[in-house]
Amino acid sequence: MTVTYGQWTNNAYTSSTDSIGVMNKFTDEVIAEVGVASKADFDSMVDSAENVSASPLPPYKRFEILKKASELLKEKQHEFAEVIAKEVGKSITEATGEAGRSSLTLEVSAEEAKRISGEVVPVESAPGSESRQAFTIKEPVGVIGAITPFNVPLNLVCHKVGPAIASGNAVILKPAEVTPLSALKLAEVFKEAGLPDGWLHVITGKGKDIGTWMTESERIQMITFTGSPGVGLWLKQHAGHKKVSLELGNNSAVVVHQDADIETAAQQVAQKSFNNAGQVCISVQRVYVQNDVKQAFLEKLKVETEKLVTGDPMDKNTDVGPVIGKDALQRVSDWVKEAVDQGADVLTGNKIEGNIFLPTVLVDPPQEAKVCREEVFGPVVSVIGYQSEGEVIGLVNDSKYGLQAGLFTNDLTFMMKAAKEIKVGGLIVNDTSGYRVDHMPYGGLKESGEGKEGPKYAMQDMMNERLIVLQGS
């Protein structure tokens, strides 16, 4: 029998009249039903969140709750992994990794709750200020609306909820329609960890409706979003005076220079192009390889890619599972076809098996092909040759996105030049764009978004800094 979940509010489920089925992405079987929220459900969540946020929990309490939630999540890591593997379709190995990372994200958030501080502001440099002292204090913004995508359904939720609770805010979380189950399970963990009623609500249902309610509400002070650039831009345009933090797309580039360790580069590229079937914001999508080593790189990349085991995500041997749905399968297939029509060669892959698109390597698609220009969000990587350093920096920067990039080289001068000239939020040297540790600052330039993730950095946006000036006699 499939379980039906209502809305999560005040530490309990309510019932909903309508529901959406959540599917196992490998078998297409419905594994649960979740409620479709009404405007009245949303309004009562906002009432509750606004009510509690008038009296923020003290930082030591936030620390205790987040620490406990982190420990409980660790204990339940395998239960969470199973839910993630089924609702996303990522391999159970990756899903176990995601659950473990999520526990750490909450732990780091717990620690940051104890480190909130303002600064002492020097004022004596101004004439007549000798008897004044000034300092800043940080306060929670109030109620935060958080919207998250399907691809990393637990850890990206922890990246919103962890910092929001750590900085003293109440949160209304909207997980992706197709992957709401790990977020609901996390809310249950927060209840067990002692989070009082009102601080975390999980609203499920239609993205457009909930996004509209959130942007129109005067009682939500901030929207933090991870997802597609189109929706992110829409939210920003409709958010009015609210703060907005956006983690959007990318078409990540990796440069393999002639002096690089080609074997390592090929191994890392294969891993980070195809993990989670390429459905990661920092998946490797464009690989620019210096012409002298291109052939050797392609030979190794072919071997590494063909080693990957595709199949049922619940099988421990599986590396790559299905993409999120039939639409995604069709879109990825169409984009590969377009690239081939425009002159790209297929080194390996380009086949559909069930809901799986086989890991695919394209060679030399034109820079204007969608597989280069847009975010593929599927298991497709393109390899393109280059001659000079200046040329490749231009190719990497020829993108509307700028989240992360990778560079394989041991040439310090080239590293320094690339660090200065490649316009991305994070440049990873001697690894791929796909490297992320959860406490580090993470966020993009250009259409990749605004604001940073990583609990310490996200919390800066989730608080207001106020100045206090004291005048003595």
Catalytic residues, which ones? 247, 281
289 contacts 386 by C-beta, under 8 angstroms: yes
| Minimum separation from the CB atom of position 446 to ligand ADP (A) | 17
Rounded CA-CA distance 139/460 in Å is 10
Q: Which is nearer to ligand ADP, 375 or 438 (CB)?
A: 375
Rounded CA-CA distance 408/406 in Å is 7
| Minimum separation from the CB atom of position 148 to ligand ADP (A) | 6
37 contacts 204 by C-beta, under 8 angstroms: yes
Q: Which residues pair with 132 in a beta bridge?
A: 471
Q: Which is nearer to ligand ADP, 135 or 234 (CB)?
A: 234
* Other C-beta atoms lying within 10 Å of the C-beta of residue 420: 10
| Minimum separation from the CB atom of position 42 to ligand ADP (A) | 12
Q: Is the dihedral of CA 320, 326, 328, 330 positive or negative?
A: positive
Determine the distance from the C-alpha atom of residue 275 to the mean position of all C-alpha atoms in its chain, rounded to a whole number: 14
- Closest-CB residue for ligand ADP? 211
| Minimum separation from the CB atom of position 166 to ligand ADP (A) | 22
Q: Which is nearer to ligand ADP, 26 or 150 (CB)?
A: 150
Do the bridges between strand 404-408 and strand 253-256 make them parallel or antiparallel, or are there none, so unpaired? Answer: parallel
Do the bridges between strand 30-35 and strand 445-446 make them parallel or antiparallel, or are there none, so unpaired? Answer: unpaired
CA distances from 65 to 76, 157, 189, 272, 466 (A): 16, 16, 10, 34, 26
| Minimum separation from the CB atom of position 202 to ligand ADP (A) | 11
| Minimum separation from the CB atom of position 124 to ligand ADP (A) | 48
Q: Which residues bind ligand ADP (CB under 6 A)?
A: 147-151, 174, 176-177, 207-208, 211, 227-228, 231, 234-235
**Number of helices followed by number of strands (H, E) in the chain:** 15, 25
Judged by DSSP in three states, 110 sits in: helix
Token pair 């990318």 in the structure block, residue:
250
Q: Which is nearer to ligand ADP, 111 or 177 (CB)?
A: 177
Q: Which is nearer to ligand ADP, 88 or 427 (CB)?
A: 88
Task: Name the E strands within 47-97.
Answer: none
Q: Which is nearer to ligand ADP, 178 or 361 (CB)?
A: 178
